[in-house]
């Protein structure tokens, strides 16, 4: 079986100093004075097509960095990342929306940012608009939208890209309860169609509902992985007993 996402011994560190000191180091050809701080050490992670994997852990443990690496926004220092198929990342909803353009125009741009061609966007247009429940407001400028409408539009585009790999970072709190219900249903549908899902959330109830497997990250390494019930339970228990 071919994995959709395969991370082998991936490490990632960031330069600790400011850009100014880095430039000085570069200019005087000396070793970095501020050093680097490592966020991930030798991570191994494999996700099958149609599998949903959740990442849990405290702030700064490297969850979001993994998503950024898989989405190719960052390059790993060491190790390799192999991806099969189109990736769509919901790391931030509505990135690149222009307030003065209409919902429909922004929908087009947003779909293009995900790498859809014009024909692909045209095919999905009506489905996306129906999913967003915006109705005729789709032709109003986005600046007149409420924050709920804004999020609904952005989410609707992102879940209709038909990617093979879907990355989600803490953004399932979209709209009211009914819309959230619909988002969950849509995620299950996407997963059943064979898309691999990797998601980060602090809401362990959400992870239990969506994931097949959970990975607990601590200080840039994998502390435990397994069934969502067990991992989320252990993680929650560890949080209630501050050391």
Partner 1 sequence: MLTQLRSLYAYREMIVCMVRRDLRGRYKGSALGFLWTFVSPLMQLGVYTIVFTHILKNGIDRYYLFLFTALVPWLFFSASLTGGAACVLAQKELVKKIWFPRAVLPAAYVTGAFINMLLCFAIILPTAILSGVQLRPGGLLLLPAVMAAEFFLALGMALLASSVTVYFRDMEHILSIAAMLWMYLTPVVYDISMIPARYRILLRLNPMTSVIGCYRDILYSGSLPDPAALLCAATQGLTALVIGWYVFECLQKRFAEVL
Residues near partner 1 (CB under 8 A): 14-15, 19, 23, 68, 71-75, 87, 89, 91-92, 95-96, 98, 100-101, 105, 108-109, 111-118, 121
Closest CB 150 distance from partner 1, rounded Å:
14
Q: Judged by CB, which is closer to partner 1: 96, or 194? A: 96
The Cα 80–Cα 83 span in angstroms is: 10
Give just the sign of the alpha carbon dihedral 186, 170, 103, 112: negative
Token pair of 137, please? Answer: 């407001």
Q: Judged by CB, which is closer to partner 1: 14, or 227? A: 14
Closest CB 45 distance from partner 1, rounded Å:
18
Tally helices (H) and strands (E) across the chain: 8, 9
Closest CB 68 distance from partner 1, rounded Å:
7
Closest CB 136 distance from partner 1, rounded Å:
20
The Cα 57–Cα 216 span in angstroms is: 6
The sheet with strand 165-169 has its strands ordered as: 87-90, 165-169, 196-200, 52-56, 213-218, 221-226
Strands (E), 1-51: 5-15, 36-47
Q: Judged by CB, which is closer to partner 1: 65, or 206? A: 65
Q: Judged by CB, which is closer to partner 1: 17, or 42? A: 17
């Amino acid at each position: 079986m071919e994995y959709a996402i395969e991370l082998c011994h991936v490490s990632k560190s960031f330069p600790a100093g400011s850009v100014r000191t880095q430039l000085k180091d570069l200019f005087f050809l000396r070793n970095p004075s501020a050093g680097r701080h490592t966020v991930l050490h030798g991570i191994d992670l494999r996700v099958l097509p149609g599998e949903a994997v959740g990442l849990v852990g405290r702030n700064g443990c490297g969850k979001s960095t993994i998503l950024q690496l898989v989405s190719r926004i960052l390059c790993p220092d060491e190790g390799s990342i192999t991806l099969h198929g189109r990736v769509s990342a919901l790391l931030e909803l509505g990135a690149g929306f222009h307030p003065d353009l209409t919902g429909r125009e922004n929908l087009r741009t947003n779909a293009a940012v995900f790498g859809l061609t014009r024909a692909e966007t045209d095919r999905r247009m009506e489905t996306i608009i129906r999913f967003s429940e915006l109705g005729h407001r789709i032709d109003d400028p986005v600046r007149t939208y409420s924050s709920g409408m804004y999020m609904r539009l952005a989410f609707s585009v992102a879940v209709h890209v038909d990617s093979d790999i879907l990355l989600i970072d803490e953004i399932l709190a979209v709209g009211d309860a009914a819309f959230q219900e619909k988002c969950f249903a849509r995620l299950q549908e996407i997963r059943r169609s064979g898309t691999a899902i990797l998601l980060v959330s602090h809401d362990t109830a959400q992870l239990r509902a969506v994931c097949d497997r959970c990975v607990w990250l601590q200080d840039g390494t994998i502390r435990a992985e397994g069934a969502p019930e067990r991992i989320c339970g252990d993680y929650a228990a560890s949080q209630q007993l501050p050391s």
